[in-house]
């Protein structure tokens, strides 16, 4: 354990030498962790038995970056107080930023084209996105990271820096895969409305249907996987993500072979929460029609097979404070949403939304504006 000052000095040194590193805090946790690569070399994932922090692009055929535990220093600190965190309304709103009418027109016509293709029966759902360039007043990634930590305690907050990928930051609400011992968990997340102080809200049938598509797709695919058994789901509930609410179903199960995560990850990514349904035709539409490259947006990132020590006290009499220690490997991967790439004093913010037959282009534009708020609120002083 180190202190905040030392922690950020290490990150600063790493940034200056352009050595790969990642700093992050998992949802609801207090400790802020980092893996600092000790050499300037590029590591990639092979079969998902590797151990470290993974960073994957949207393109499921492209290789996945890794900061390996084996060649990195691990460091962490505990912020002294959380008093300032997650407080009220940010002083800045997405509406304080100017919008380009061109961006709006382009996005609305992309969405309309998606709706037309759905009505023609080509696919049932497609997730369409855009990227928006924003000037950053203080483009220091460490300052932005600290603001994200403050503002989003329930998100997976990260700062990733690698000479081959550039600098990325995000605060995502969406779990791709949690796995420990023989248990795993994933999530079907879709449907969006603005949070106005209440999580017990009504959802329109369009949103309910859209989220159900995601749940059903994940369940069908999991059921076909040799390595998976005892699948269970929670009831759909409203989950808060910053200024937004989504519909969420948790999906849990067991792994017959906990060492083999590769087939599960490949089955889950990309889910219809970020791509569409059926996957192949939606993906083709995205590649042919979005006018930007998603790069790492709507890919995934997080801990892969990180060794964790679990301590358990025995309550039995005559065994004072006896502790059982066991080492397990933990995987916690998140879908890379509400994220941005920092470059030359500018941020490229990536936002998108799921389109179904009942979508409306102007509403979908507004949804991306609302989603851009997550990153914009930390880009000004
Ligand atoms: C695609 C994004 O978010 C996804 C799409 C959602 C939707 O269509 O309502 C909701 C949550 C995410 O699964 C994004 O944030 O860019």
Residue 1: per-residue pLDDT: 82
Whole-number Å distance, alpha carbon 80 to ligand 1 midpoint, is: 33
In our burial notation (b when 16+ CB lie closer than 10 A, e otherwise), range 326-361 reads: eeebbbbbbbbbbbbbbeeeebbbbbbbbbbeebeb
DSSP assignment of 48-95: S---EEEEE-S-TTS--EEEEGGGEEEEEE--S--TTTT-SS-S--GG
φ and ψ at residue 47, rounded to 5 degrees: -120, 20
CB of 275 closer than 8 Å to CB of 219: no
- Is the beta carbon of 191 within 6 A of some atom in ligand 1? yes
What's the CATH number for 4-95+135-274+298-313+320-337+369-376?
3.60.120.10
Looking at ligand 1, which atom is closest to the CA of residue 368? 16
Average pLDDT over the chain, rounded to an integer: 92
CB of 339 closer than 8 Å to CB of 352: no
Looking at ligand 1, which atom is closest to the CA of residue 271? 13
Tell me the two tokens of residue 235: 């009831």
Looking at ligand 1, which atom is closest to the CA of residue 352? 16
The angle formed by the CA atoms of residues 85, 98 and 126, to the nearest 5 degrees, is 80
Looking at ligand 1, which atom is closest to the CA of residue 355? 8
Return the half-sphere exposure (C-beta side, CA atoms, 13 A cut-off) of residue 53. 24
Measured distance CA(104)–CA(81) in Å, rounded: 41
Whole-number Å distance, alpha carbon 354 to ligand 1 midpoint, is: 6
Centre a 10 Å sphere on the Cβ of residue 320 and count the other Cβ atoms it contains: 8
CB of 177 closer than 8 Å to CB of 264: yes
- Is the beta carbon of 171 within 6 A of some atom in ligand 1? no
Measured distance CA(363)–CA(82) in Å, rounded: 35
- Is the beta carbon of 125 within 6 A of some atom in ligand 1? no
Task: Supply the pTM of this predicted model.
Answer: 0.94
Domain ranges (residues) in the chain: 4-95+135-274+298-313+320-337+369-376
Could you report the per-residue pLDDT of 300-356, keeping only the tens digit for each? 999 999 998 876 655 555 555 556 778 899 999 999 999 999 999 999 999 999 999
Centre a 10 Å sphere on the Cβ of residue 79 and count the other Cβ atoms it contains: 18
φ and ψ at residue 374, rounded to 5 degrees: -55, -45
Measured distance CA(381)–CA(378) in Å, rounded: 7
CB of 189 closer than 8 Å to CB of 273: yes
> What is the DSSP secondary structure assignment for residue 258, as one 8-state letter?
T
φ and ψ at residue 39, rounded to 5 degrees: -140, 160
Residue nearest to ligand 1 atom 5, measured at CA: 353
- Is the beta carbon of 114 within 6 A of some atom in ligand 1? no
**pLDDT < 50 regions, the chain:** 83-89
Residue 88: per-residue pLDDT: 47
Whole-number Å distance, alpha carbon 214 to ligand 1 midpoint, is: 11
- Looking at the DSSP bridge assignments, the partners of residue 185 are 178, 252
Measured distance CA(128)–CA(114) in Å, rounded: 8
User: For residue 278, is the peptide bond before it cis, meaning its omega torsion is within 30 degrees of 0?
Assistant: yes
- Is the beta carbon of 192 within 6 A of some atom in ligand 1? yes
Whole-number Å distance, alpha carbon 273 to ligand 1 midpoint, is: 6
Distances (CA, A) of 42 to 38, 89, 241, 296: 11, 40, 33, 16
Q: Where are the beta strands (DSSP E) in the chain?
A: 21-25, 32-37, 43-44, 52-56, 65-68, 72-77, 125-135, 156-162, 166-172, 175-180, 183-194, 228-233, 237-241, 244-255, 276-277, 300-313, 323-335, 339-343, 346-355
Could you report the per-residue pLDDT of 74-109, keeping only the tens digit for each? 999 998 765 444 444 455 566 666 778 999 999 999
Distances (CA, A) of 288 to 102, 113, 379: 19, 12, 31
- Is the beta carbon of 190 within 6 A of some atom in ligand 1? yes
- Pairing, β 43-44 against β 32-37: unpaired
């Amino acid at each position: 354990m180190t202190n905040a000052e030392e922690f950020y000095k290490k990150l600063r040194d790493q940034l200056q030498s352009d050595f790969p590193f990642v700093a992050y805090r998992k949802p609801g946790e207090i400790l802020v962790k980092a893996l600092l690569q000790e050499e300037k070399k590029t590591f990639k994932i092979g079969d998902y038995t590797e151990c470290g922090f993974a960073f994957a692009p949207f393109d499921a055929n492209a290789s996945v970056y890794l900061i390996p535990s084996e060649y990195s220093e691990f460091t962490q600190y505990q912020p002294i107080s959380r008093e300032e965190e997650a407080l009220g309304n940010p002083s800045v709103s997405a509406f304080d930023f100017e919008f380009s009418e061109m961006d709006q027109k382009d996005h609305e016509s992309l969405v309309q084209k998606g709706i037309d293709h759905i009505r023609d029966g080509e696919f049932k759902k497609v997730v369409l996105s855009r990227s928006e360039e924003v000037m950053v007043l203080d483009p220091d990634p460490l300052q932005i990271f600290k603001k994200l930590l403050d503002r989003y305690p329930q998100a997976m907050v990260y700062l990733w820096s690698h000479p081959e990928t550039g600098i990325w930051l995000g605060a995502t609400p969406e779990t791709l895969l949690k796995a420990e011992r023989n248990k795993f968990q994933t999530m079907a997340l879709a449907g969006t409305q603005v949070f106005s102080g209440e999580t017990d809200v009504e959802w329109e049938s369009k949103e309910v249907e859209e989220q159900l598509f995601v749940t059903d797709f994940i369940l069908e695919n999991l059921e076909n996987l040799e390595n998976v058994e005892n699948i269970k789901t929670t009831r759909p509930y409203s989950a808060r993500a910053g200024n937004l609410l989504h519909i969420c179903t948790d999906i849990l199960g067991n792994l017959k072979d906990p060492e083999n995560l590769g087939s599960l990850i490949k089955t889950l990514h990309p889910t219809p929460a970020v791509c569409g349904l059926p996957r192949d035709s939606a993906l083709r539409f995205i590649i042919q029609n979005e006018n930007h490259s998603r790069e790492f947006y709507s890919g995934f990132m997080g801990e892969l097979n990180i060794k964790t020590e679990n301590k358990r006290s025995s309550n039995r009499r005559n065994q004072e404070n006896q502790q059982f220690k066991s080492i397990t490997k933990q995987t916690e991967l998140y879908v890379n949403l509400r994220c941005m790439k920092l470059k030359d004093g500018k941020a490229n913010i990536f936002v998108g939304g799921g389109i179904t037959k009942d979508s409306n282009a102007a509403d979908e534009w507004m949804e991306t504006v609302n989603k851009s708020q997550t990153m914009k609120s930390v880009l000004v002083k």
